[in-house]
Amino acid sequence: MRAVLDYCNGGTERQIAAGTLIVNEGGTTGHLYVLMQGKLEVLKGEMVVATVTEPGAVLGEMSVLLGQPHTATVRACSDAVVYEFENAASFLEKEPGVALLIAKMLAQRLNVANTYLADLKRQYAGHGTHLAMVGEVLQSMINLPPLEVSPGSDRKSDPRM
């Protein structure tokens, strides 16, 4: 994602102190962030799901592209520097190169998730456990109509599935 750094004109450089929340899960900002230096962690609830250290890493893209609240919290693990784009949708319209880089990154993430789910499907096929439903999850991901998606869990499921 270092190629994103070439497009960081027009963003506001922010110095972030260790421990500072950059993005709050459930919040809406419309902002896009690009990591310049430092170490960030991505949390779903209280669980750390990823650590981000690569300059050029993009944060907040799912919220901007889907027009929905942030799906995770991002917190600085160390002092960090990020570029912030306040009107991210407008920025992406003006910079299709960045939009394409983000699309490639998201496609890569989806490929990893699909590969993982397919492996789970192979491992648990015919076991009759809740993991045997992975095939249904994969099929539903392929056939989702282009409607607004509301991420959920067992407590709040997507009504189309």
- pLDDT at position 52: 95
CB–CB of 124/131 below 8 Å? yes
Q: How far does the chain reach from its first CA to its final CA, in angstroms?
A: 33
Burial (CB count within 10 angstroms: exposed 0-12, middle 13-18, buried 19+), residue 135: middle
- pLDDT at position 160: 47
Please compute the mean of the pLDDT values over residues 45-59 and round it to a whole number. 93
pLDDT band at 154, cuts 50/70/90?
very low
- Sign for the CA dihedral angle at 1, 145, 115, 130 comes to positive
- Sign for the CA dihedral angle at 93, 112, 66, 61 comes to negative
Phi, psi of 73 (to 5 degrees): -100, 140
- pLDDT at position 138: 63
pLDDT band at 30, cuts 50/70/90?
very high
In whole numbers, what is the pLDDT of the chain averaged over residues? 84
- Quick check: 155 pLDDT over 60? no
- pLDDT at position 139: 65
Please compute the mean of the pLDDT values over residues 101-113 and round it to a whole number. 90
DSSP structural state of residue 54: S
Give tens-digit pLDDT for 128-147.
Answer: 666 666 666 666 666 656 55
Look up residue 23 and give its two tokens: 């993005």
Confidence (pTM): 0.75
